[in-house]
Structure 1
Amino acid sequence: MIEVEHLTRRFRRGAETVTALDDVSLTLGPGELTVAAGPSGSGKTTLLSIIAGFERADAGRVRFAEPLPPDAPPESLTWRHLAFVPQGLALLDELTVAENVELPALLDPDAGPGRRTAELLDGLEIGHLADRYPSLTSGGEQQRTAIARALRLLPPVLLGDEPTGHQDRDRILLVVALLRAHAYAGNVVLISSHDEAVIDLADRVITLADGRVVSDDRPGARPAASAR
C-alpha cells in the first residue's frame, strides 16, 4: 500500500511560479488497476515521478507499507520493490530487446529464471524481436519492451506514465490486460493516461486538474485485493 500525504510541488517557469501538485493526498492499495487521468499539465507525471523517487516534493510525503520498507524514501527502493515505465522508455540501444528486459534481473541475485523474459515478450507479442536492438523496432514495440522490463521482477508497485501512448487499439487491450493481471495478483498498479479506452477499463480513476484531485471513482466496482 502507498500513502500519499499532502504532496505539493511548485516550480519556476520564467517569472511565473507553476503549481504542479497542490496538497494531493490519496491511498493506493493492491488489487486494482488505477489510472491517473486529466489533461496535460494536470499533475499526472509529477505525481508519478514523486512516488517513484525521481522528483522531490516541496511539501508532503510518500509512505510505503509492507511488503515495502515503510519509512524508506522512494529513491532508496530497487527494481525488486518498484518499477516504472517512463514516457521516454529509457531503453539501452547497446542491448537487445531481450537483454533490456533481463537487465533488472542481472542487478538482482534473487531474480528467477530467464524464461520469464521470453514469456513476457511472447505475451506482449514481441517475442520475435528478442534479438533485435530497440532502435530497429517501432515506438509501440519499444514501449512494450519497457513494460516487459518493468514486470520482469514482479514488483509489488508498478507505475507507468502513459504506457499505452504508442499502441493501437488491440495492443492497448493487450497491455491493459497484462497490467490488470499484475494488479489482481495483489500488487499496486498506477498508470497515467488521457486515453478514454484505458480509462474505461480501469478499476479506479483518479482525475487531476491544476494539480488537485477533483474526483476519485471506482467505475468497475471490483473489490480490491486487501478487501477479499
Structure 2
Amino acid sequence: MTVVVENLTKRFRRGSETVTALDDVSLVLAPGELTVAAGPSGSGKTTLLSIMAGFETADAGTVRFDSPLPTGSDPLAMTWRDLAFVPQALALLDEMSVRENVDLPALLDPPAAAERGEPADDLLARFEIGHLADRYPSMTSGGEQQRTAVARALRLHPPLLLGDEPTGHQDRGRIELVIGILRAHAYAGNVVLISSHDEAVISAADRVLTLADGRLMSDKRTGVRR
C-alpha cells in the first residue's frame, strides 16, 4: 500500500478566530520506512494523522490509497486489518483485561486473525507486558497502557499504522523498545507514520516530516535504516 496525500487543508473555528491546522500539505508514504511527523504542539501532526485515519475530514485535498484495501476500496470502510491507529488518549476498554484489549481486533475480525497477524500473548511478551495480561488497564501504568495500545494496533499486522505520540509515556529504554518494534513492522513492507517531538524518536526515523503552523516545512530521509 502507498498513501498519497494531496493538498490537505483543514481549518477550525476558535471563538471568533479561524485557525489553520493544515495548510496545503502533500506527501507520499510508501512501505518500508519508519516515518516521523515532527513539530511542536499545534503544528498539525495530530490533524494530519486524524484525517489520514478517517476520523476527521479535510476542508480541501484528498488522501488516496494506491492498492485495493482488504475490506474494499472505500477508505471509510477500513478496519483493523487495513489500518491501525494509536491515539494519544489510547482508547483502551477498562472492562477488558490487557490481553483482551490487545486481542480486540482479532475478536472483531476472526477471519483476519486466522490468516494474519501475531497472537496477543506473543505481542505482550515483545512489549514486556506479558505479566500484566490478566490485569485491567486501570491497574497498569501510563507507559504500560501505551504499550498495550501499540500492541493492539499490531495484532492484525495492518498495512498502514498511524501513531500519535506512541512513545510519549515511555522511559528512554522503552522508547527504544517501541520504536524497534514499529521499525520492524515498517521493514516488513508496511506503511508506518508516527508523530513525535522527542528527539530520540526523530533521530531513529528513516524519514522525518517537519511541520510548523500547519505547513510541511521539510521532508528528509535520514539514512539511518538498520
Name the TM-score class by shorter chain. Answer: over 0.9
Q: Counterpart in 2 of 1:191?
A: 194
Question: Which residue identity is paired with 1:185?
Answer: A
**Aligned ranges 1:104-123 → 2 under 5 Å:** 104-110=105-111, 111-112=113-114, 116-123=119-126
CA–CA distance in structure 2, aligned partners of residues 8 and 105 of structure 1: 35
2:149 aligned counterpart, secondary structure: helix
CA–CA distance in structure 2, aligned partners of residues 207 and 57 of structure 1: 20
Q: Counterpart in 2 of 1:159?
A: 162
**Runs of 5+ consecutive residues of structure 1 not aligned to the other structure:** 224-228
CA–CA distance in structure 1, aligned partners of residues 184 and 155 of structure 2: 14
Q: Counterpart in 1 of 2:41?
A: 40
1:201 aligned counterpart, secondary structure: coil
CA–CA distance in structure 2, aligned partners of residues 115 and 130 of structure 1: 15
Contact 1:79 1:153 in 2 (8 A): yes
For residue 70 of structure 1, report the CA deviation from its aligned partner: 11
CA–CA distance in structure 2, aligned partners of residues 59 and 94 of structure 1: 39
Structure 1 residues 70 and 141, CA gap change in structure 2 (3 angstroms): closer
Deviations 1:50-90 (A, max 9, x none): 00000000000100122527994432211110000000000
Deviations 1:96-132 (A, max 9, x none): 0000000100111211389711110000000000000
**Aligned ranges 1:26-175 → 2 under 5 Å:** 26-68=27-69, 72-110=73-111, 111-112=113-114, 116-175=119-178
Number of residue pairs matched? Answer: 223
1:206 aligned residue (203, 206, 209): 209
Question: Which residue identity is paired with 1:38?
Answer: G
Contact 2:71 2:77 in 1 (8 A): no
State, as a whole percentage, how many aligned pairs show the same letter.
Answer: 75
Question: Which residue identity is paired with 1:112?
Answer: A
1:182 pairs with 2:188? no
Contact 1:51 1:74 in 2 (8 A): no
Contact 2:118 2:156 in 1 (8 A): no
1:217 pairs with 2:224? no
1:207 aligned counterpart, secondary structure: strand
1:164 aligned counterpart, secondary structure: coil
| TM-score (ref. length: structure 2) | 0.95
Contact 1:53 1:73 in 2 (8 A): no
CA–CA distance in structure 2, aligned partners of residues 61 and 115 of structure 1: 32
CA–CA distance in structure 2, aligned partners of residues 69 and 181 of structure 1: 22
**Runs of 5+ consecutive residues of structure 2 not aligned to the other structure:** none
